[in-house]
Structure 1
Amino acid sequence: GKSYSLEYSINGEPFSKEIKAIKRVGFNISVNDLQDKLAIKFSTNDTSLNLITNTNYYMVIHNGDDLRVIPFKFKEKEVLKVIPKTDLFAGINIITVFDGNKKPILERLYFNEKDIEQSTLVNIRSKTESDSLNVAFKIDDFDNNSFNSLSVSVLPTGTKSYTHHHNILSQIYLQPYVKGAIENAAYYFRERDRKKAYELDALLITQGWSSYDWSKIFSFNEVFIHPFERGIDVVATINSKKEGGLYIVYPTKNSNTQIFSLRENENVFTQKRVIPFEGEKLRIGEVASKGRAPGVFPQFFPSAFSSFNKKYDHLNPTVGQDAVAANTIPELSLSSWNKAQELDEVVIEGKRQYTRLEKLKRKSNGAQIYEIDNLLKNRAMPLWQYINSRTGFRASYDAFNNNFTISNPRVTWGPSTPMVYLDDALLTQGGSLNILSTINLEIVDYIEAQTSGSGGGLRGGQAGYIKIYTSPDYYYRNQQSEKLAEFDFPLTFDAPQKYYTPVYQFYKTKFFKEYGVIAWFSNLKPDANGTVSLKIPITFSEGVSLYIEGISNNNSLVSQIIEIE
């Protein structure tokens, strides 16, 4: 018989390897890209055709989330299926052939570039001012009404520290679908052309089977003990004899206010995918409860970290001849203390009395504090009128549409709606913010307001923030447990921490050029025109490189490197 070998080269050095165990019976798969269509061909030989003629096979095209099934039979040595790319999935398509017993016998991975959205950064500008380099760029085809967020790593040009094999596109569209690691996967998604599409397809051929283990999938014996990491589900059961009612779950930093309406025969509601930060509580109130906390029994899923009964081998500590025993450590000599002179104690006492307003200002990080005295409380002025007259914000209430709005007139571009909190609970425009329409100064303790974009915490924006605190006897007050049912979350998440750029003593060094960090910017939001502006400290580098990853226009990915001399 014939022998076959594989000839290839690595870095110019030729290699040859014999192909063994070639089977006489079977069939293979090949694909051909026809621009807007994909031709999938199954081929066999005469020996196999006599065995598999009129046998039912099923071609399943899937992506891990959805699948499409196309049955076929062999009547000749070739079976051709032409599929419009509009019927394929964006990104990886896993083409698996099953026999009549649901046994996978053949598989091929194909990457469909159609419908993969990638945004480009244009109008790149830079200008040096004093000790900073101001850089601006614009997102092409920008949509101001969609979600946009970018992350930028600023490193010296020629750095050796940014050696990631993946960018955001390859990490999402490629890596989850293959078994092995992919070297320099980001290459296939930068400046894509026909050559890179061909190389990516060759890569997928060498990868062979996808990351799915079909024997486990069809065994139906897999028990999912640990749920997906999607947050915490809260199942709340009403303990009172009364059934039905309207219940409010107050917001956390990562979730908005939710209202649950229960019918007369219902006493359970579920809040899904809660992501509480450390220190936050589950707070539940009941509408028309006359100021009483509702009787609620919450259950949290998950409620504890799973325990793993795994045993691992470990190395026992080795004590060598050079180890020093504890009893051989010499005693500390105290002779040097003989010349010490004890000084008389000097005590300075002082007590600074701060007013309540001063204490609030010291805690406010530079914000304005508006304390509501008894004279203002007695006037019972509507809250929105006071906000307009004193805080610098503009509030209005549309009674016909029951819509309460607050804006910052100082903002000339971008979102002008400030972050609004009621007793540290974040309110949402068009939702829980409407509760402010029922509040007057009679029940307000004080207001903290900041019209600039600083001091608003992790969720603060350029429009500033306003925090409204009610009097202690007001039933909306989060801290009043007799008005709300409060519960600790058994599991919480760490809040994002601020990134601090390392400080270097010298910048004109080989080490800084190859491994130094200039700056890192996260969660950057473009202005109304789609422009992102950065202020980068000058480090006297010959050039800087901006590694930009992110999302624009809800589902378009951004991955681009900008070099500035």
Structure 2
Amino acid sequence: MKYEDKIIENNLPPANLIGVAIEASSFMLEKTTIKVKTNKSSFNSIQLRGLNLVIHKDQNYIVEPLNINPDNLEQIIVVNNTDLNPGINTIRIIDNELKQWSERQIYISPISKKNYDVIKNNQQENNIKLAAFSNLTNNMVSISVLPVETKSIDDNNSIIAGLTINPYIKTSLLNSNYYLNDVNRLKYYELDLALLNQESLKYDWEYMKLQPPTANYSFDIGINLKGTIANPLKSKSFHKVKLVSSKEFITASADVTENGTFEFQNLLLTDSTYVNLSLHKQPNFEYVDAKLALQVVNRKKLYNKVFTGLIEKNCNSENDTIKIVNFDLPHFKEKTIQLKEVVSKNKKKQLTYGNILSNRMLRGHKIDLTNNSSSILNFIEGNGFKVERTIGKIKIYSRLPGVLQLPTPIVYIDDRQLYFDYYELEFLKMDDLDEIYINSLALVPSINNNLGIIRIYTKKQQNTYSKKPHPNSFFVKDAFSKSSTFQNLEYENASSNGFNNFGTISWFTKTISDSNGNFTFDILDYNKKNCKIIIEGMNTDGQIFHEEKVVQLK
């Protein structure tokens, strides 16, 4: 084979006289065509054993018996890609005695197309506001904003390859973004060639027959909550238990067994989270008053490979290290002394967040001993809003006389907007709050009939272990760590090669788009003409995406 100015030679493996061949074409984007063929010598050896086409990924599989006969030694099977699993799928030809005759891997694209357009919206002093538009609603995304010349990423950085390809092959796919960014039929064909050229597959069939894979670390994909119903109940299996976590945007239901038990599996809950449970009767999902008990059943797990620190014998000596490039690195303001603000003592309590632009048109309240006895919902109700309380749901409306359909406000907790429900407010105690900014008549640019803004700021150190707000609320301890916001460092010079190579303009670890698929975010103005934006995440259908865009800033 000739490649550029090189000629690569290698011996082809010897052909087997007895065997089964697989041809597969999965890069048509909608259907996968699989051709299975053999020869007459092979047919005489396998006709009594029977052959099956097996397509599998993880615990999901398709088994299709093959019908090969002496007059027709090949068979074509067409499978809709929607019936296969996104990512790497393994095709195997297995006979009825579980002997494998052939194998290969194909890739089914999980990529969600036509996601985001990003533009500069406006600029206020040193902050640039960017707006992202999409036709996909309620996406959870991570946004990295970097200099255009950045060397901190390469073609191997991709959430798509990291989740759908690399776990299923022996060595990580090189230059994965070449295949997965700006996808087309030719790129998928080249990815198929890359998969075909693996020396061997990661998971060996003969070994799996002897040692079937087992799930030993279920906590890694979510915690499991198992519970019982304390009340005597007829026809238990005709009931379901509903779980709501407003903090995590999770709503789930579980069947009740005849023993009165139920279980929720693989929940991604952060530490110190309340979940609310309720019992409902089928088929109309009628609420049933009952006492429910709950426990976490898979939380305490030991790690398979615990990190114990660097082992010196496994590290190369300094003489063995080859320095390829001496990159310029960014310099930080490490020796800069930050002066504290001068605070003038006054009888009037100073508001911490009062100077934020979005709070200036709202009435600020410092929460102290004089106003922390009531609940947050009573406080909201006493400041121009109407609050409706039902089991498992809280509704808030702005009071307007003579209006049939009352508008709803925009509610934030620590700058995190509540999108789907206000039930999380039921769990907040006034002594956990620092400040509240509120205005029932604040105008909100929206097509969702919004009117009014409520901004709630919690105290930095809060004890959430204290009280349970509802008898069927369960407090989840020792779960996944909370998401923390990225705090950028200060750079000495944002015009240096070091900043352009490895500097970070901003990083938003977790952003959720609104019901229209849009969101905005602010970045600091580093006096750049443009920037590189990387958007990664998952939509509500489970499709993951990775997009890289250059956005004009001037």
TM (normalized to structure 1)? 0.64
Contact 1:161 1:514 in 2 (8 A): yes
Contact 2:218 2:266 in 1 (8 A): no
1:12 maps onto 2:12 in alignment: no
For 2:78 and 2:262, the matched residues in 1 are separated by 46
Contact 1:372 1:444 in 2 (8 A): no
1:539 maps onto 2:496 in alignment: no
Aligned mate of 1:102, from 98, 107, 119: 98
The one-letter code of the counterpart of 1:368 is H
1:64 corresponding residue in structure 2: 58
Contact 1:285 1:483 in 2 (8 A): no
Aligned mate of 2:500, from 506, 513, 537: 513
1:111 maps onto 2:107 in alignment: yes
For 1:259 and 1:84, the matched residues in 2 are separated by 32
Q: Where do 1:50-449 residues align within 5 Å? A: 50-53=44-47, 55-72=49-66, 73-76=68-71, 78-85=73-80, 88-89=83-84, 91=86, 92-113=88-109, 116-122=111-117, 124-125=119-120, 130-139=125-134, 142-143=135-136, 146-163=137-154, 165-207=156-198, 210-219=201-210, 224-235=215-226, 253-254=247-248, 270=263, 272-273=265-266, 277-278=270-271, 300-306=296-302, 368-369=365-366, 387-388=380-381, 390-392=382-384, 394-397=385-388, 404-407=394-397, 416-418=409-411, 429=421, 449=436
For 2:32 and 2:251, the matched residues in 1 are separated by 48
For 2:277 and 2:151, the matched residues in 1 are separated by 52
Quickly say closer, same or farther: Cα 1:278–1:544, change in 2 above 3 A: same
Structure 2 residue matching 1:18: 3-state secondary structure: coil
Contact 1:107 1:209 in 2 (8 A): no
For 1:68 and 1:285, the matched residues in 2 are separated by 37
For 1:371 and 1:224, the matched residues in 2 are separated by 50
Contact 2:40 2:73 in 1 (8 A): no
For 1:177 and 1:93, the matched residues in 2 are separated by 9
Quickly say closer, same or farther: Cα 1:404–1:540, change in 2 above 3 A: closer
Compute the displacement of 1:199 (Å). Answer: 0.7
Quickly say closer, same or farther: Cα 1:236–1:467, change in 2 above 3 A: farther
Compute the displacement of 1:165 (Å). Answer: 0.9
Structure 2 residue matching 1:182: 3-state secondary structure: coil
For 2:275 and 2:212, the matched residues in 1 are separated by 37
For 1:408 and 1:465, the matched residues in 2 are separated by 15
Q: Deviations over 1:167-222 (max 9, x none)?
A: 23333433333332100112212222232122112112113765433334433665
For 1:418 and 1:316, the matched residues in 2 are separated by 55
For 1:353 and 1:34, the matched residues in 2 are separated by 70
The one-letter code of the counterpart of 2:19 is G
Aligned mate of 2:437, from 450, 455, 460: 450
For 1:535 and 1:254, the matched residues in 2 are separated by 24
2:332 corresponding residue in structure 1: none
Contact 1:44 1:78 in 2 (8 A): yes
For 1:536 and 1:435, the matched residues in 2 are separated by 33
Structure 2 residue matching 1:151: 3-state secondary structure: strand
Contact 2:146 2:504 in 1 (8 A): yes
The one-letter code of the counterpart of 2:171 is G
Quickly say closer, same or farther: Cα 1:405–1:134, change in 2 above 3 A: closer
Structure 2 residue matching 1:405: 3-state secondary structure: strand
The one-letter code of the counterpart of 1:178 is I
1:27 corresponding residue in structure 2: 20
Quickly say closer, same or farther: Cα 1:490–1:83, change in 2 above 3 A: same
Gaps of 5+ in 1: 1-6, 287-293, 318-351, 437-442, 453-461, 469-476
For 2:431 and 2:312, the matched residues in 1 are separated by 62
After TM superposition, the structure 1 stretch with the greater mean CA deviation from structure 2, 221-230 or 152-161, is 221-230
Compute the displacement of 1:16 (Å). Answer: 0.7
Quickly say closer, same or farther: Cα 1:311–1:183, change in 2 above 3 A: closer
Structure 1 residue matching 2:24: 3-state secondary structure: strand
Compute the displacement of 1:504 (Å). Answer: 1.0
Q: Where do 1:488-499 residues align within 5 Å? A: 491-499=478-486
For 1:40 and 1:135, the matched residues in 2 are separated by 46
For 2:466 and 2:354, the matched residues in 1 are separated by 19
2:285 corresponding residue in structure 1: none
Quickly say closer, same or farther: Cα 1:506–1:553, change in 2 above 3 A: same
Aligned residues: 469
For 1:209 and 1:106, the matched residues in 2 are separated by 12
Contact 1:53 1:75 in 2 (8 A): no
Compute the displacement of 1:75 (Å). Answer: 1.9
Quickly say closer, same or farther: Cα 1:147–1:214, change in 2 above 3 A: farther
Quickly say closer, same or farther: Cα 1:310–1:530, change in 2 above 3 A: closer
Contact 2:227 2:263 in 1 (8 A): yes
CA RMSD of aligned residues (A): 5.5
1:348 corresponding residue in structure 2: none
The one-letter code of the counterpart of 2:36 is F
For 1:88 and 1:282, the matched residues in 2 are separated by 34
Quickly say closer, same or farther: Cα 1:530–1:93, change in 2 above 3 A: same
Structure 2 residue matching 1:397: 3-state secondary structure: strand
- Structure of larger gyration radius: 1
Contact 1:136 1:532 in 2 (8 A): yes
The one-letter code of the counterpart of 1:405 is K
